[in-house]
A = this chain, B = another copy of it.
Amino acid sequence: MSRPSASAPIGVFDSGLGGLTVARAIAASLPGETLIYLGDTARVPYGTRSAETVIRYARTCGRALAADGIKLLVVACNTVSAVALDMLRVELDLPVLGVIEPGARAAVQASRTGRIGVLATAGTVNSGAYPRAVANVSSKGEVTQLAAPLLVPLVEEGWVDGEVPRLVVERYLAPLIERADIDALVLGCTHYPLVRDVIEAELTRLSPKPVQIVDSGVAAAFELAQLLTDRELRAPHVEGQRGELRLKVTDRPGRFAEVASRFLGRDVESLAVQQIDL
């Protein structure tokens, strides 16, 4: 691996716009870094696709970001982290950080009993990546997974409070809590932080014991900061200046600004958005 430059940008790859919640967490903990975000909006969502197809799409996107001269690649998408991380690590001449391993480590730290729940897409659940990652760091972890396919479209529609998301979250969580007696729950998809309040309220209502929520994106941003420091790759940061965020998407922007602003937690109108063909 060639030595990257500390002043080079960090690449953030996601299947769509949800990974902007991860970019947001990175920008908050590493304000001096320049981020190039690539969302494969022409082929989103990955969560319902087979591993082979996700690997094919991830290869194309990873190469496109590598060609931009990034110093490190963050894979914000849980599904890609679950099935294509090894391929990206082998094929790209770069450090590659996913969200599953940081999320699993944070969950093991957050749980007292080792009984950990994971809420994710079908692709992530089927890969078994979270149970494997938890087993790698703890011998007493017991992971119960649940695919919650409706949460992504619900968040994209902007229905993040009120009766509909509450009922949907209840329908997913009630059997999980009944069955698995968890004390930590991993939000294993970039979209879920936007319904975190609903999830938190339902956990409080349904679970007899407190359940800690673990946001894999936040956990990844935390480990990223450590990794950059360890490798002396942190960009020099001038107090009060915010690093640039460059956005690339593979479909025509369209409703982009509205949805992206929601995930990023700030207005994206002022950001440069570029459409690329992959």
Contact = CB atoms under 8 A, between A and B. Distances in A.
Contact of A252 (B53, B122, B149, B254): B53
Nearest to A171: B164
**How many copies of this chain are found per oligomer?**
2
Interface stretch (A30-38, A150-158, A209-217): A150-158
Interface size class for chain A? Answer: 20 to 34
Nearest to A122: B255
A202 interface: no
B163 A167 contact: yes
A55 to B, nearest CB: 11
A168 interface: yes
Contacts of A122: 255
Contacts of A49: 41-42, 251
Interface string A34-66: 000000011110001110110000000000000
Interface of A: 41-44, 48-50, 52-53, 122, 149-150, 152-154, 156-157, 159, 163-164, 167-168, 171, 251-252, 254-255
